[in-house]
Structures are given as C-alpha cells and as structure tokens.
C-alpha cells in the first residue's frame, strides 16, 4: 500500500517536497526540494506524483477480456517489486528470469505502472500493423480444443507435444499451423487455478492459491485486508413525512482487519447488491473530514486510501463484473471466502454483533430473536428515520467504537492501534499516512453500475428517459462492422440521482456527463422511477413513455405533499382539541373548592328630619 511518511518525496501544489514530519492524522511538515522554505500542508493536498489535469478515464471497462487478463498477469509479475525497499537491478533480473521476460520489459512495466498506479497502464498498446494477418478462426478453434481435451489432463503432457498435435490437426484441416511460440504463449496464459485443478487436482490448487485453513494471512498493516459484508439492522425505522414504520434497513460495512477500524459503511432500505458494495468501497476510500462536517460531527475518522485486498463472502452481489473489473483496475485484490469455512470471516461478524447489541437499546428495536422480543411492539415504538439512524450510527462509530477497548486486539482501542501503525512505536517504525485518492469522483464512477445502450439522433434512452449532450453527436447510429448491428456504449449511472448519466467515450476513455434531453424535468432517483413504472404497468389504460413517467412522479410528489399537509393539520387539530379538553377539565375541577360570595342588595336611603330642614346655600354668610 502506498503511504506518506517522513523522508519521502511528495508533490504539493505540483512542486516536489520532502516530508519532514507528520502532525496528527491530517497535516505534514514539508521542505521544498531546493531547501528554500518549510511549509505545513494538509495531507489531502499531497500526492505521490504530479497532478494531471486530464479528464478521468476508464480503459479497464473497454478492454477485451484477453487483453485485460494479460495486463493483470503483468501486474502480478511486478507486484513483488513495487513496494520492495532499495530495489536493485538484481531484484528486477530475478523477476525477469522467473517470467521469461527481458530486463527492459520489466522496467518498462514498472515505469508505466508507477506513473499512474493503475493496472490499465499495463494494457497492450495497439500494434502498428493492426488489421494485418492473424490466425484464422479454424486454427483458433483447433488450439482451444487441443488445450482443453489434451493439455489440461492429469497425464500432464508437455507443451511441445501439444504443439505437435496442433500442427498435425492443422495439416489435416488444410490450415497453416501456428508458430511454436504462439502455442507456448497460449499455454502459459492459461489461468493458474484452472491449470492446477485440471492437470493436478483441485486440492493442490486450493493449497497453492488460497490461504491456509484456520488462519487469516496478510492483515499485517492498515488496509492490507478490508472485509465487507451486509446485515439487516435490528431496528424498525419510520418515513420522513408521516413518521410511520416502513421496515428495517440494511447495513453494509467495510472493516479493516488489522486495526478493527470501520473503513466505511452504507445504510439503505434496498436489499444488498453490487451497488451497495461499490458505494461502501467508495466511502471507505474517501477522506471523511467533509463528510463528518456536513453532519456537524467533530471527531477524527482517519482511515482512508486504497486497500490492498477486499475480502468478501460468496454472495451474488460480490461476483458482478463491474465490481471485479473496478477492483482490478485499481490494483485491489477481490478475494472470496472459501465455501464452508466460516472461520475466514469472524472479524466483520463480531463487529455486526457489537453494532446490533447497541441498536437493540433504541426505540423500535426488533431484538435478536422472537424470544427476546416477547410482546414488545417494535412498529409502535419506532421513531427514527433512515437519516437519523445513519447519523446515530456515525456518532457511535466515531465517538464510541473507535475509542473503546477491543478484545480482538488485546483491549487496545482501534484508533490507538491505528495511531501506532502510522507513527510507530519503540519496537517498530511507523508506515506513515495513506496517500489520498487524487480523483475520488472518478474512483466512485468506477464502482458505480453501468448500462450499455446505442446512441440515436435523439440521444440515448435509458429506462424510457431520454438523455442528450453534444458529445454524443459523433457517435449517432454507429455500427459494429463485423455484425452490422448498432454499437453499444457504456453509461455509468448513480441510482440516487439519475438526472445525469456519465458517458464513457471509447476514444478518449473519459467520463462525460449527459443530462436529461428535457432539462425541465426534476431530478429523481432510480427507486422513484421503478415505482412509477410498476404503477403504470398495473394500469391497463396508461401507456409507458417519458411524459407519463414524470406525470406519475409529479402526481406522487403532490400526493405526498398533500398527505404531509393533511397530517400537519390533523396533528394541529388534535392538539387544539386536547388543549380545550384540558382547560374544560381544569374549570370543572375548581367547582366546590371556593364558596360563592353573594353581594348584599342595595337598600334605599331613608331621609331624616334634619335633612328636611336643610335649605340650599344655607351655609353661605352674607356680609
């Protein structure tokens, strides 16, 4: 794994500098190459190579399987040399001798890979004589047939005998036999697992290519091995509008095996899929500072960067071509857990037990089983939305789980162990901070599901929605010469917002955004689209087209807004009625507590005798 550590040459603002010291998890002290000044820079602003301003590319998706397998084989050849300290010519020569390549070829592969860090840099460059003579289809079939039915047998015939048999078969078919080197190359290109399984035994293939049973090798430093798995959360959540129960969400977690740090996670209502795995990997790779700041969380979550290996089980979502090629493109090993060996996945399973134990203290929990739940009303007590549960889980991970003593690592908190790996201890030196991903958006798109569509004059149509951008114009109605059928192109699509898809140009190999053809349409999610399509299909009168889809979505949102307003008014009315009842009960409660005071009637004043003798102005004396 590439890291940033003291004494290493890095690039800051596209200028070379030397790392003098690491400050915490986020800053580094640098000195420029010319020694003129010393600076403090954020690790996120550093790179191991000059930053390129070119557009993001994805050649791994456009490569043919045969070419891609060859590039992966080249990467496997040079992998031992990439992180070898003090690499010498003798080390490179040993790899050259072992692979049967020249010294210059190995150096050329190393230079191409170290410039980009991508396996696609090892793809075979197009030949200058492309389109010239090649082996005929009949010869190709003869070679493939003889390899499968003769060479891949437990009698283990030699490649020379294989060549003689292919030569004889070609002569009988009146075809020009291939060169002997071609046959040797085909034999050496056979998948090693297939070759060992068929020429020796499946047991030998497992022993040579799989980890030893009962152990988990390779997790010797952070991000050496990251385990990913899914589980259903033991909590019922409510919707945002009506606060009514809508079910239990799914949690996808990426766990660093060496430190037990949570690398990333995804919480969603959708069942586990390759999208869940891809978005979880993208979250594990990205830096978390901005992600935490958006949620007003002041805590360190310092794990990020490209992992060396991803370890998963044998679920269907982990066997997709998109996930496999994306991992190969970025040099990440995707390893599946051996069937029938649950001892290979204890770390993530133990973490899930810890998480679910915490969740079972929340209102609306379903507990771990029916016996523990008893007569608890999970739906009636549910009160948290998906966003609130995600925020709660983030706070738990950042504040509690990472700082809590962990039994699996000798009662050491995961973040403390991670600190020891990065900065070192008295017994071992630190490995430094991981190098950040230079283009997180391109990395995310590599792990995003894609679709294949033809391009017409009106653009491209995906799930009855039209998209268009000027970049599509030159590819309108292009055909495949061999078949005469419309050529299909790759479009990456984020299901959370399908208002924009990303077109992969087959020439520039760059992603380009392609918005709606009608830019007045609102942004929607793939789940809204599917719900609308399902509703339209159930209506025998309606027909499915783009206008009907967005009318349906607009109507659904209006219904939702009306329902929210009705719910608000109903709650307000209930609160008013409750307040009136409370005031009436208070008034009734005071009756009989205080005695009523009846005022005395006013009596008429009776005149007296003296009053009759009084004359007006009698008290005035005349002088």
Do residues 357 and 262 both lie within one domain?
yes
Measured between alpha carbons, how far is residue 567 from residues 284, 418, 559, 560 in Å? 39, 49, 12, 10
Q: Which of 473, 506, 535 is the last residue of a domain?
A: 535
**DSSP, residue by residue, 94-143:** HHHHHHT--HHHHHHHHHHHHHH--GGGGSPPPPTTTTS----HHHHHHH
Q: 170 with 253, same domain?
A: no
CATH of the domain at 174: 1.10.10.60
Which residues, including other chains, have CB under 8 Å from residue 320's CB and lie 6 or more apart?
274
Longest dimension (CA), the chain: 170
CA pair distance 504, 56, nearest whole angstrom: 10
Looking at the structure, tell me whether residues 297 and 423 fall in a common domain. yes
Q: For residue range 2-30, what is the model confidence (pLDDT) as tens digits?
A: 778 888 888 887 788 888 888 888 888 88
- Lowest-pLDDT choice from 66-80, 109-123, 382-396: 109-123
Q: Which of 364, 347, 140 is nearest to 235 (CA)?
A: 364
Other C-beta atoms within 10 Å of 123: how many?
20
CATH number for 33: 2.30.30
| Residue 289 shares a structural domain with residue 426 | yes
- Asked whether residue 382 falls in the same domain as residue 239, the answer is yes
Q: Determine the pLDDT at residue 409.
A: 80
Q: What is the pLDDT of residue 534?
A: 77
Q: Are residues 69 and 201 in the same domain?
A: no
Separation CA 385–CA 363 (nearest Å): 12
The mean per-residue pLDDT over the stretch 363-377 comes to 82
Please indicate, yes or no, whether residues 366 and 329 belong to a single structural domain of this protein.
yes
Report pLDDT digits (tens) over 150-188.
898 888 889 999 999 988 988 888 888 888 888 888 888
Residue 118 C-alpha from the chain's centroid: 19
Cβ neighbours, 10 Å, residue 177: 20
Give dist(CA 109, CA 562) in Å, integer: 63
**What's the rounded Cα separation, in Å, for the pair 350 and 406?**
11
Q: Is residue 551 part of a domain?
A: no
* Residue 391 confidence (pLDDT): 92
Give residue-wise pLDDT tens across range 304-356: 988 888 888 877 777 777 788 888 888 888 888 766 555 455 678 888 888 88
pLDDT band at 477 (very low <50, low <70, confident <90, very high): confident
**Model confidence pLDDT, tens digit, residues 583-619:** 887 777 766 555 545 555 555 555 554 444 555 555 5
- E-assigned strands of 403-537? 433-434, 450-453, 460-462, 465-467, 489-492, 500-504, 511-515
Strand pairing category for 309-312 and 333-336: parallel
Q: Looking at residue 397, what is its pLDDT? A: 92
Band of pLDDT at residue 212, cut at 50, 70 and 90? very low
Give the end of a domain, one of 178, 209, 240.
Answer: 209
Better-predicted residue by pLDDT, 197 or 557: 197
> Does the residue 53 lie in any domain?
no
Based on the structure, what is the number of domains in the chain?
Answer: 5
- The verdict on residue 604 lying in a domain is no
Instruction: State the pLDDT at residue 131.
Output: 44
Question: Could you tell me if residue 131 is inside a domain?
Answer: no
The reported pLDDT for the residue numbered 132 is 44
CA 414 – CA 256 distance, rounded (Å): 10
d(CA 363, CA 366): 9
Structural domain includes residue 414: yes
- Full-prediction pTM beyond 0.75? no
Q: Are residues 407 and 517 in the same domain?
A: no
Residue 215 has pLDDT above 50, yes or no: no
Residues 351, 327 contacting (CB under 8 angstroms): no
**Residue 25 belongs to a domain:** yes
Per-residue tokens: 620:
């005035």
CATH code, domain with 370 = 3.30.420.10
Are 106 and 157 contained in the same domain?
no
- Is residue 306 domain-resident? yes
Domain coverage including residue 26:
3-47
In a domain, 421, yes or no: yes
Which segment of 264-268, 298-302, 432-436 scores lowest on mean pLDDT?
432-436
Work out the average pLDDT over 71-88: 85
406 and 377 in a single domain? The answer is: yes
pLDDT digits (tens, 9 = 90+) for 517-568: 888 888 877 777 777 777 777 776 666 667 777 777 777 667 666 766 776 6
Residue where one domain finishes, among candidates 415, 440, 465: 440
98 and 81: one domain?
yes
* Separation CA 4–CA 47 (nearest Å): 9
Residue 246 and residue 329 share a domain? yes
What are 328-342's pLDDT values in tens digits?
Answer: 888 888 888 766 555
């Amino acid at each position: 794994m590439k890291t940033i550590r003291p004494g290493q040459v890095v690039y800051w603002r596209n200028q070379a500098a030397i790392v003098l010291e690491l400050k915490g998890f986020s800053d580094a002290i640098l000195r420029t190459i010319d020694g003129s000044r010393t600076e403090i820079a954020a690790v996120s602003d550093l790179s191991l190579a000059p930053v390129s301003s070119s557009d993001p590319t994805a050649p791994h998706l456009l490569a043919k399987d045969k070419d891609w397998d060859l590039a992966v084989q080249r990467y496997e050849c040079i992998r031992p040399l990439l992180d070898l300290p003090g690499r010498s010519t003798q080390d490179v020569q040993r790899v050259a001798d072992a692979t049967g390549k020249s010294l210059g070829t190995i150096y050329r592969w190393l230079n191409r890979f170290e410039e980009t860090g991508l396996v696609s840099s090892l793809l075979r460059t197009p030949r200058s004589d492309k389109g010239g003579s090649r082996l005929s289809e009949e010869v190709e079939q003869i070679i493939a047939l003889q390899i499968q039915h003769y060479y891949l047998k437990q009698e283990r015939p030699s490649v020379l005998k294989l060549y003689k048999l292919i030569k004889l078969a070609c002569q009988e078919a009146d075809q020009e036999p291939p060169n002997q080197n071609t046959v040797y190359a085909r034999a050496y290109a056979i998948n090693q697992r297939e070759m060992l399984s068929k020429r020796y035994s499946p047991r030998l293939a497992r022993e040579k290519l799989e980890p030893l049973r009962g152990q988990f090798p390779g997790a010797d430093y952070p991000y050496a091995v990251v385990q990913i798995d899914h589980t259903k959360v033991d909590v019922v959540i409510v919707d945002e509008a009506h606060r009514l129960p809508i079910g239990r969400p799914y949690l996808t977690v990426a766990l660093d095996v060496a430190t037990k740090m949570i690398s990333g996670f995804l919480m969603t209502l959708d069942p586990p899929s390759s999208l869940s795995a891809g978005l979880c990997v993208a979250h594990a790779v990205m830096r978390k500072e901005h992600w935490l700041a958006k949620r007003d969380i002041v805590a360190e979550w310092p794990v990020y960067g490209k992992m060396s290996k991803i370890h998963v089980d044998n679920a269907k979502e982990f066997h997709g071509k998109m996930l496999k090629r994306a991992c190969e493109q970025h040099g990440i090993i995707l390893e599946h857990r051996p069937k029938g060996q649950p001892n290979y996945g204890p770390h993530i399973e133990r973490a899930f037990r810890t998480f679910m134990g915490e969740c079972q203290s929340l209102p609306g929990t379903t507990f771990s089983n029916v016996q523990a739940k008893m007569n608890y009303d999970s739906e009636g007590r549910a009160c948290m939305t998906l966003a609130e549960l995600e925020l709660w889980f983030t706070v738990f991970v950042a504040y509690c789980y990472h700082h809590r003593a962990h039994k699996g690592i000798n009662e050491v908190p995961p973040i403390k162990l991670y600190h020891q790996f990065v900065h070192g201890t008295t017994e071992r030196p630190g490995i430094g901070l991981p190098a950040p991903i230079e283009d997180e958006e391109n990395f995310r798109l590599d792990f995003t599901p894609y679709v294949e569509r033809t391009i017409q004059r009106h653009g491209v149509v995906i799930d009855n929605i039209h998209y268009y951008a000027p970049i599509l114009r030159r590819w309108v109605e292009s055909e495949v010469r061999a078949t005469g059928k419309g050529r299909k192109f790759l479009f990456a699509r984020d299901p959370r917002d399908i208002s924009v898809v990303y077109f992969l140009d087959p020439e520039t190999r760059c992603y380009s955004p392609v918005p709606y053809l009608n830019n007045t349409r609102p942004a929607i999610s793939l789940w809204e689209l599917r719900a609308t399509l399902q509703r339209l299909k159930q209506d025998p009168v309606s027909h499915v087209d783009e206008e009907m889809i967005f009318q349906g979505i607009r109507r659904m949102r209006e219904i939702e807004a009306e329902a929210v307003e009705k719910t608000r008014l109903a709650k307000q009315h209930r609160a008013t009625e409750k307040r009136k009842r409370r005031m009436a009960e208070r008034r009734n409660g005071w009756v009989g507590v205080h005695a009523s005071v009846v005022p005395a009637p006013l009596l008429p004043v009776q005149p007296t005798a003296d009053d009759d003798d009084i004359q007006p102005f009698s008290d005035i004396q005349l002088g």
